[in-house]
Amino acid sequence: MSTQHLGMVASPVYTIRLLLAEAERSLKAAGIDQAALEAAWLLEHVLHLSPLMQRVNAERGVPAVECASVQTLVARRATREPLQYLLGTQEFCGQEFGVTPSVLIPRPESALLVQETIRRCRQNPAAIVVDVGTGSGCLAVSVASILPQARVLAIDVSSDALAVARANLAQHGLAARIECVRGDLLAPLGMYAWESQVDVILSNPPYIAELDLLTLQPEVRCFEPRVALAGGHDGMDVHRRLLQQAPTYLKAGGVLLMEVGFGQAASVCRQAEASRWFRTYDVLRDEGGIDRVVCFEKTEGPQTPQNDHTHMPSVTSGSSS
Ligand SMILES: C[S@@+](CC[C@H](N)C(=O)[O-])C[C@H]1O[C@@H](n2cnc3c(N)ncnc32)[C@H](O)[C@@H]1O
């Protein structure tokens, strides 16, 4: 029975204009820079009206249920919960990825890892590519979309993250082409007998130093998963472990590509060269001019009598700056 039959006409409390203005005020008060834009995006998410159509229909009433939905999202955003977790999506390399608080929100600078992988595989389209710490799966999906013959393996230690990655692979029609495995760094490769077989290992590992974790903006510090951020005392624990593990699985001339944090590139390169399993062939800068991706090619290895693939490099733990 409709509310009219009962004499209860549900009158809209807010117009779009009023709801938008209230949302913008709340977000501004919470210290959000692009308050007007974000308010419009939150309304768009609930009302399915673009910011332009919101202006065109500014005096239209908003039903109470939708009003409440917008107000709930605004209140959550005002606690500094990232907009992407509220909307459930983030664009990366021209494609949309589902995101939840179990995964890092993909960052534009990580596209450098995708670009370099594609460049390296131009002559070898059926390459074996391993994405370590896949999170949402954004790197694995982007690579597999551009290299349809590549064999791509996506690894993560977090089963919650892998659930998000699997949903994204399915969403992009790549579930049959990308294998997702739970495990610690390259440990799962043992099952594949891929010793000296892998063409590219790419990784955006956790790289925030312990003390820096406290200085991150609240969106990151309070909401993104710690396992995706914390890289140990100096932020380079995972880089060191990958430098140690990767020579076993990379073929000669294969590459290890790792994203690094501000000020880490020189130290990671020194450690790679010191192991003598790697030659640094490039350091890629992001749009802010920061050294962001270190590119290593596997060499023949240390020239010692024991120089074979069971003689692994010794990469010291702890800061080496
Ligand atoms: C910085 S996030 C990167 C996520 C995604 N690749 C991206 O670029 O958006 C790091 C990811 O590494 C995973 N991770 C952390 N330690 C790991 C480990 N020891 N082995 C495998 N994955 C790990 C985290 O769960 C997280 O998903």
Higher pLDDT, 293 or 12: 293
* pLDDT score recorded for residue 128: 98
Kindly report the protein residue whose alpha carbon is nearest to atom 13 of ligand 1.
133
Site to probe by mutation for ligand 1, drawn from 90, 143, 158, 229 as the one with most ligand atoms within 8 Å of Cβ, is 158
| DSSP symbols for 178-201 | EEEEESSTTGGGGGGT-TTTEEEE
User: Cα-flanking dihedrals φ and ψ of residue 144, to 5°?
Assistant: -65, -30
Look over the chain and give the mean of its residue pLDDT values, rounded to a whole number: 92
* pLDDT score recorded for residue 185: 98
pTM over 0.85: yes
* pLDDT score recorded for residue 301: 80
Kindly report the protein residue whose alpha carbon is nearest to atom 26 of ligand 1.
228
Check if the beta carbon of residue 165 is closer than 8 Å to that of residue 136.
yes
Amino acid found at 293: V
Find the mean pLDDT for residues 141-157: 97
> Has domain 104-298 been given CATH number 1.20.1260.10?
no
Ligand 1 pocket, 155 CB below 6 A? yes
pLDDT tens per residue, range 20-52: 999 999 999 999 999 999 999 999 999 999 999
Listed by start position, the domains of the chain span 14-79, 104-298
Ligand 1 pocket, 184 CB below 6 A? yes
pLDDT tens per residue, range 217-244: 999 999 999 999 999 999 999 999 999 9
Residue 65 alpha carbon to ligand 1 centre in Å: 38
pLDDT tens per residue, range 99-127: 999 999 999 999 999 999 999 999 998 99
* pLDDT score recorded for residue 306: 52
pLDDT tens per residue, range 269-293: 999 999 999 999 999 999 999 999 9
Residue 228 alpha carbon to ligand 1 centre in Å: 5
Name, in order, each residue with C-beta under 8 angstroms of 164's C-beta and a sequence gap of 6 or more.
98, 99, 100, 102, 103, 135, 136, 137
* pLDDT score recorded for residue 183: 98
* pLDDT score recorded for residue 209: 98
| DSSP symbols for 221-236 | HHHS-GGGTB--TTS-
Residue 214 alpha carbon to ligand 1 centre in Å: 19
Ligand 1 pocket, 153 CB below 6 A? no
Pairing of strands 278-285, 95-98: unpaired
* pLDDT score recorded for residue 2: 36
Question: Which numbered atom of ligand 1 lies nearest the CA of 103?
Answer: 27
| DSSP symbols for 122-133 | TT-TT-EEEEES
Site to probe by mutation for ligand 1, drawn from 100, 105, 169, 238 as the one with most ligand atoms within 8 Å of Cβ, is 238
